[in-house]
Amino acid sequence: MKNILFVASESVPFIKTGGLADVVGSLPKCFDKKHFDVRVIIPYYSCMKEALKEQITYRDSFYMDFDWRRQYVGIMETVYEGIHFYFIDNQEHFACEKPYAGMPYDLPKFAFFSKAALSILPVIDFRPDVIHCHDWQTGLVPVYLSDTFQEGEFYRGIKTVMTIHNLKFQGVWNLEETRSIVGLPPYYFAPDKLEYKKDANLLKGGLVYANAITTVSRTYAEEIKMPFYGEGLDGLMCARSNDLRGIVNGIDYDDYNPETDASIVKTYNAQNFRKEKVKNKIALQKELGLNEDPKAMMIGIVSRLTDQKGFDLIAYMMDELCQDNVQIVALGTGDEKYENMFRHYAWKYEGKVAALIYYSEAMSHKVYASSDAFLMPSLFEPCGLSQLMSLRYGTVPIVRETGGLKDTVQPYNEFENTGTGFSFTNYNAHEMLATVRYAEHIYYDKKREWNKIIDRGMAMDYSWQSSALQYQELYDWLVG
């Protein structure tokens, strides 16, 4: 039996701002329980839903040296769908309206979290063989492990994996301040360790000290070795390329299942989608005040509204796109300029564009189920889960060929009758529009072909099964 510990800043169902939470909450369930005991540690945020907090109980507490004082570390726990979750409680750090406040606020918060996650292990009596860290918020875990925690027998020999979900975010802050907060010796703040362009970089610490590095698709694993996608760490990624692998994300096939989904008006499956799926579209048109037209091609968007997701291309093309017979439903929150962009077009093209500027799990399921196509023209995309959810719901993804989008959506080829979606190569607004229009053409003029694209998409398997095996292999290789 191998013990594996996930340490992360978010996890469904407790707290979610993006795909990271989906991964951390769904992957642990998919390991072979006979050989792997996988547990998860996340912060005990005050903004978690009350109903979920009620299921979480107090386990223990102690005081830990951090930032020149002794700070309270509460250990909370629950078992959810068979997985043991631990929560680090300290309301000075984790009382919040949302998990992230940006730098510098997030620096002491997640440095404290990383150190506390290691400190609680003897108390909960769980010695992991592998600690699997996710993103910059946990970048200090491998560093603390190799330093502060090497004195006791307990921690020696524990291996670490650092998974990059998004290289854009690295936890960078002023070197002197960071050093004084995290409390590591000056030795660590050198250019071959945590120092980065005269600042301190927490993710870099994790990438230097972890035994293995993974990221969430094969293509992204290659891309980040190049300057355009490397966010300044491409040199390090090249240097560690022997220890870097890309393992594509899956999604929870129970949570995202058009056949059983309680959030949608009409359930359907790969056999009956031709008749049943459209009922969701009609219901959503009614609900959102869009023109009630079962034939109109509905294009869905569910996303954080940031430039990563290609909204500059969309903003540039909205007027032209809206001349076509399409409806656009955009669900998302984020940068004000994109929120207002969608609000503006919803006003300008009333009945054709719906701007849903909020976060709602239930509405996201409705959009995946109701739309005919799903637009995701990302500038970069480590993996992307929304296109996988779309495929699962028989909604045809239109994507840019980058990162996980390239690995999971096969472009339609009308001569060979292959493909599960539509894609384009360059980050170029006209290329995107031409691809959307090509999709419109197939949708309106070659409906049988369109439906076959859906057949192929719904037949794909992006559950966790095969990727969980790859993580198991990695753990086996590390631990021996």
Torsion of CA 142, 242, 187, 179, to 10 degrees: -50
Q: Which residue is nearest to ligand ADP (CB)?
A: 19
Q: Which tokens is 256 given?
A: 């995202």
Of the candidate residues 28, 205, 382, 457, the single one contacting ligand GLC (CB under 6 A): 382
Q: Does 249 sit near ligand GLC (CB under 6 A)?
A: yes
Q: Which of 4, 18, 7, 10 is nearest to 361 (CA)?
A: 18
Residue with tokens 């995309």: 381
Q: Does 384 sit near ligand GLC (CB under 6 A)?
A: yes
Classify residue 251 by burial, with Cβ atoms within 10 Å: 0-12, 13-18, 19+.
buried
Residue with tokens 């999971």: 408
216 binds, among ligand ADP, ligand GLC, none (CB under 5 to 8 A by kind): ligand GLC
364 binds, among ligand ADP, ligand GLC, none (CB under 5 to 8 A by kind): ligand ADP
Q: How far is the CB of 74 from ligand GLC (least distance, A)?
A: 28
What are the residues whose beta carbons fall under 8 Å from the beta carbon of 4, sequence distance 6 or more?
28, 31, 36, 37, 38, 39, 128, 129, 130, 131, 132, 475
**DSSP, res 155:** G
Residue with tokens 């207002």: 340
Q: Is the alpha carbon torsion for 361, 79, 26, 10 positive or negative?
A: positive
| CA–CA separation, 353 and 290 (whole Å) | 7
| CA–CA separation, 137 and 131 (whole Å) | 14
Q: Which residue is nearest to ligand GLC (CB)?
A: 19
- The stretch near ligand GLC (CB under 6 A) out of 17-25, 43-51, 112-120, 154-162 is 17-25
Q: Which tokens is 255 given?
A: 């949570």
| CA–CA separation, 214 and 440 (whole Å) | 37
Closer to ligand ADP by Cβ: residue 79 or 362 = 362
Of the candidate residues 9, 137, 166, 435, the single one contacting ligand GLC (CB under 6 A): 166
Of the candidate residues 37, 252, 381, 440, the single one contacting ligand GLC (CB under 6 A): 381
Q: Dihedrals φ, ψ of 402, to 5°?
A: -145, 150
Of the candidate residues 4, 20, 131, 208, the single one contacting ligand GLC (CB under 6 A): 20
331 binds, among ligand ADP, ligand GLC, none (CB under 5 to 8 A by kind): ligand ADP
Q: How far is the CB of 183 from ligand ADP (least distance, A)?
A: 31
CB 50 within 8 A of CB 101: no
- The stretch near ligand GLC (CB under 6 A) out of 13-21, 104-112, 230-238, 321-329 is 13-21
333 binds, among ligand GLC, ligand ADP, none (CB under 5 to 8 A by kind): ligand ADP
Contact residues: ligand ADP, CB under 6 A: 18-20, 22, 302-304, 331-333, 359-361, 364, 383-386
C-alpha angle 67/72/78, rounded to 5°? 125
Q: How far is the CB of 21 from ligand GLC (least distance, A)?
A: 8
| 3-class state of residue 384 by DSSP | coil
Q: How far is the CB of 218 from ligand GLC (least distance, A)?
A: 13
332 binds, among ligand ADP, ligand GLC, none (CB under 5 to 8 A by kind): ligand ADP
Closer to ligand GLC by Cβ: residue 165 or 281 = 165
Q: How far is the CB of 383 from ligand GLC (least distance, A)?
A: 4
| CA–CA separation, 182 and 185 (whole Å) | 9
| CA–CA separation, 102 and 173 (whole Å) | 11
Which residues of this chain interact with ligand GLC, rule CB under 6 A? 18-20, 23, 165-166, 216, 249, 381-385, 404
